[in-house]
Amino acid sequence: MEAARSAKVVVLDKPFAGIPAGSRLLIATPAIIADYLRRVPHGERRTIPRLRNELARRHKAQATCPVTTSIFLRIVAESALEDLAAGSAPEAVVPFWRAIAPEDPIAARLSCDREWLRLRRSLEGIVDPPQTPPRSGRSAT
C-alpha cells in the first residue's frame, strides 16, 4: 500500500469500460484512494462512482480507471482490516466502509463480511438506500 507510485493520467486510444476513446483517464494509487477516504467526514458515505468522478476532476481527467480503482480500494480496505485486527481503533484506520457498501460487488471480496460493513456504517449513522429485489422477469398475475 505504501509503494512510492505516482498517479498517471493517460489518453485512451480506444474505448475502455464505457469511457470513450480520447478521454483523459486517471490511474490513481492506493495512497490517493486512502487520502480521499480519510477526508470523507464521519457519518457520510461516498459511492464508488462518486469517488472516481471526484478523483478524476482533482487530477484534470475525464474519468478514473474503474479496474485499478477497485484493486486499490481493496488494498486500502484490507490494510485497514489488518490494522484493526492488530488492535488499532476504527478512528485510526482508513474508513473504507464509508465508500464500500455491503451490497457493492467488492464487498464480497473483502476478508470481512457484509454484516461487519453494515454494522460499521450503522455505528456512524450511515443509512444506505433500500435495495430493490432483482426482477425475476415474470409478471405477478
Over the stretch 57-72, which tens digit does the pLDDT of each residue have?
Answer: 999 999 999 999 999 9
Report pTM.
Answer: 0.85
pLDDT digits (tens, 9 = 90+) for 115-134: 999 999 999 999 877 766 65
How many other C-beta atoms can be found within 10 angstroms of the C-beta atom of residue 11? 11
Please give the Cα distance from 103 to 96 (Å, whole number). 14
Please give the Cα distance from 130 to 123 (Å, whole number): 18
**Contact by Cβ (8 Å): 62, 15:** no
